[in-house]
Amino acid sequence: METSLNSTKSLIIKAALGIFAQKGFKGATVREICAAADQSVGAINYHFRDKQGLYEAVTQALLEELMLNTSPEPQNSSTMQPEARLHFLVTSFLKRFGMLFDGGDNGQRAIFMLREILNPSADFTRLFLSFQAWQKDYLLRIISDLTGCRPESPEVARSAISIIGQCFHFVFGRRLFGLLGMEASQAKEISKCAEHIVKFSLGGVKAVTGAKK
């Protein structure tokens, strides 16, 4: 069984990703997908059993690609300054999801992902959780260390939303920025964005908690 990049399976998955992203599961038709992949309609039944199986294969492929860019929590985390841990967290977030805009597909993988966040399938939820869950407590701990507040306090929880919200928006906010008339072009330079988010957030958390530091 060939599994090269130009195999029938790969061609169909690639085409399906783009069309699912644009039109959703119901909106995309198997004929349309096969035409885009230059394959016959029977190929979906043969390689993926049915349309649903194809969709799951697309989800799987995207999440596996995302896995490759995933860094685990660093080993020397306990010895790192909270500022450095925050920088690491923000950078890994921007890298992991910012990658979805590379590859010349005009961000179709990102749109597919946003669709899944809006209506998560079981597969997506499980896999997404498995490599994302550690970040919650990690971030709460960082803010706690920065401010001296307890990790369970509402100020820390709200600050976490502020920080994740910034990260999310620097990556996925293009659609909204377009509607608001803003430009998100600079979101491409990951290190510059990360630096901004870290500095902004350090100032933010100290402002909301009145941290002496």
Partner DNA sequence: AATAAATTAAAACAAACGTTCAAAACTATT
Partner DNA sequence: AATAGTTTTGAACGTTTGTTTTAATTTATT
In the complex, the residues that contact its own copies under the rule CB under 8 A are 22-27, 111, 114-115, 117-120, 125, 128-129, 132-133, 135-136, 154-155, 157-162, 164-166, 168-170, 173, 175-177, 179-184, 186-187, 193, 196-197, 199-208
Work out which of 20, 51, 110, 140 binds DNA, going by CB under 7 A: 51
57 touches 13 (CB < 8 A): yes
Report the nearest approach of its own copies to the CB of residue 48 (Å): 20
The token pair at 174 is 């293009």
Q: Is 49 or 199 the residue whose CB approaches its own copies more closely? A: 199
Rounded distance between C-alpha atoms, residue 149 and residue 157, angstroms = 10
> Which of its own copies, DNA, none does 73 bind, CB closer than 5 to 8 A by kind?
none
Residues 21-40 that bind DNA (CB under 7 A): 28-31, 39-40
Note whether 17 binds DNA by CB under 7 A: no
Work out which of 8, 10, 121, 162 binds DNA, going by CB under 7 A: 8
Measure the CA angle with vertex 47, ends 43 and 51; round to 5°.
Answer: 75
Work out which of 43, 140, 171, 184 binds DNA, going by CB under 7 A: 43
Rounded distance between C-alpha atoms, residue 14 and residue 65, angstroms = 13
For 210, left (φ over 0), alpha (ψ -120 to 50), or beta? left
Report the nearest approach of DNA to the CB of residue 177 (Å): 32
Length of the chain: 213
CB atoms within 10 A of CB 106: 11
User: Token match 């394959």: residue?
Assistant: 39
Residue 168 exposure: Cα atoms within 13 Å on the Cβ side: 10
> Which of its own copies, DNA, none does 208 bind, CB closer than 5 to 8 A by kind?
its own copies
Positions touching DNA (CB under 7 A) are 1-2, 7-8, 28-31, 39-47, 49-52
